[in-house]
Structure 1
Amino acid sequence: MSAVLDARLFTEVFITLFVIMDPPGTVPIFLALTSSMTHKQRARAARTAIFVAAGVILAFGLFGRQLLSYMHISLPALQASGGLLLLLIAMELLTGKMEEPKPGAKGVNVALVPLGTPLLAGPGAIVASMLFVQRSDGSAQDWISISLGFLAVCVCLWLAMRFANVVHKVLGESGTVLVTRIAGLLLAAIAVQLIADAVTAFVQAAG
């Protein structure tokens, strides 16, 4: 088994992406963004968000460096843009606008943006995946270790969102609204931290 899987690399990939993508922390935000959905719509949104996040991270992991270089985009710029987008979503959660149903909405769009990206497949996860691929020596063992580590995190994310309905039933409507506001505050803090880190990187690069 050790010849096929590098346990150390697998563990490093899993822990790094687990901390960055934070499956337990997605539960309150997922509940807030899907508050007007039915049970089936919420389950479909969870699946869609995972597929979108996986697709984005895999694409950037394989071709991210070339794409950013071709478009003359730096990693701090990508990080700052993701932070700004998350900040806008956080403001909607704090003001309750995210909970207002939109005419003709099917209730699954939030699975693409902001759930799939930039919440799950955010700048941190994208950069981490690019770095792991860059560090790889190209062997089958490294690719399998990185892929399985990433897959394990995706399973954890799906389980967290899939059983968010249980949390919703326990909290009730009032509790869900309270969690929504707290999630908005936490998401705003995450967004500001992303922007601050990007600004720091810009300053260091200029110096």
Structure 2
Amino acid sequence: METVVDAQLLGSVFVTLFVIMDPPGTVPIFLALTASMTGRQRVRAARQAVAVAFAVIIAFAVFGRALLDYLHISLPALQCAGGLLLLLVALELLTGKDEAPASAEGVNVALVPLGTPLLAGPGAIVATMVFVQGANKSAHHIASYVAIGLGVLLVHVCLWAAMRFAGRIHRILGDGGTTLVTRIAGLLLSAIAVQLIADAVRAFVEQG
């Protein structure tokens, strides 16, 4: 009997997206973008940002295969491109980014730039599409799809919690603690990126 969820894949999806989307790292950015908001407005902004990011990720997870077919892009090519992209993101996390994104007057920062591209950015989108492509080739489709869906959902719950309690988290971690968490996330993400590139190169060699 087929299992309901692939626990190993669930863990892989959760860890990968958690490192890429970096819930603790969103705390200082969220506080900067919502500095002029009241407490109630911040709660609403956190909810809207997570909803937008979740919708974008799911849209690419569902329609990503059709997009790849239309553009004649293979899975190894996507994996290699995704690995290189994630490596760039990892380097930014490791070296640090001190400037918070500026918000335009009259623009809902919960949608842009917070919801996308900060949360649902290229790295998270590519990683999700790679997981879905792998699930398409799996012998246990349903268990794999459920694992991916749960992994994406759990990461977005963590994102919501991080932004909902951003003020408290920042007070607990402090500037130094937040920076430390970001650096560790960058190190883990760089390892994931290198693994993606290595898997892509191996797939290219086997195809050749």
State the TM bucket, normalised to the shorter chain: 0.5 to 0.7
Counterpart secondary structure, 1:178: helix
Instruction: Tell me the TM-score normalised to structure 2 length.
Output: 0.65
Distance 1:133 1:57 in 2: 17
Structure 1 residue runs of 5 or longer lacking an equivalent are 1-5
- Say if 1:57 and 1:95 are closer, same or farther in 2 by CA, change over 3 A: closer
Equivalent of 1:115, from 113, 116, 119?
Answer: 119
Task: Using the TM superposition, give the Cα deviation of residue 158 of structure 1 relative to its aligned residue in structure 2, in angstroms.
Answer: 2.4
Task: Describe the SS at the equivalent of 1:96.
Answer: coil
Task: Provide the TM-score with structure 1 as the length reference.
Answer: 0.66
- Matched residue SS, 1:34: helix
State the partner residue of 1:43.
Answer: 43
Query: Is 1:168 matched with 2:166?
Result: no
Q: Provide the C-alpha distance between the structure 2 equivalents of 1:128 and 1:49, rounded to a whole number of angstroms.
A: 23
**C-alpha distance in 2 between matches for 1:149 and 1:107:** 27
Q: CA deviation at 1:8?
A: 2.8
Q: Deviations over 1:136-166 (max 9, x none)?
A: 888xx87995687357524344234322332
Could you say which residue in structure 1 is the equivalent of 2:86? 83
Structure 1 Cα separation of the partners of residues 104 and 157 of structure 2: 33
User: Structure 2: how far apart are the matches of 1:199 and 1:16?
Assistant: 16
Aligned residue identity for 1:113:
P
Q: CA deviation at 1:83?
A: 0.9
The residue number in structure 2 matching 1:3 is none
Secondary structure at 1:22 match in 2: helix
Letter in 2 for 1:26: D
Aligned to 2:70: 70
Quote the Cα distance in structure 2 between the aligned partners of 1:49 and 1:89.
22
Q: Which runs of 5+ in 2 are unaligned?
A: none
Shift of 1:128: 2.1
Task: Please give the alpha-carbon distance, in whole angstroms, between the structure 1 residues aligned to 2:90 and 2:53.
Answer: 19
Instruction: Select which of 1, 4, 9 maps to 2:5.
Output: 9
Q: Percent identity?
A: 24
Deviation at 1:30, TM superposition (A): 1.3
Instruction: Specify the code of the residue in structure 1 equivalent to 2:31.
Output: S
- What is the alpha-carbon distance in structure 2 between the residues aligned to residue 135 and residue 184 of structure 1? 33
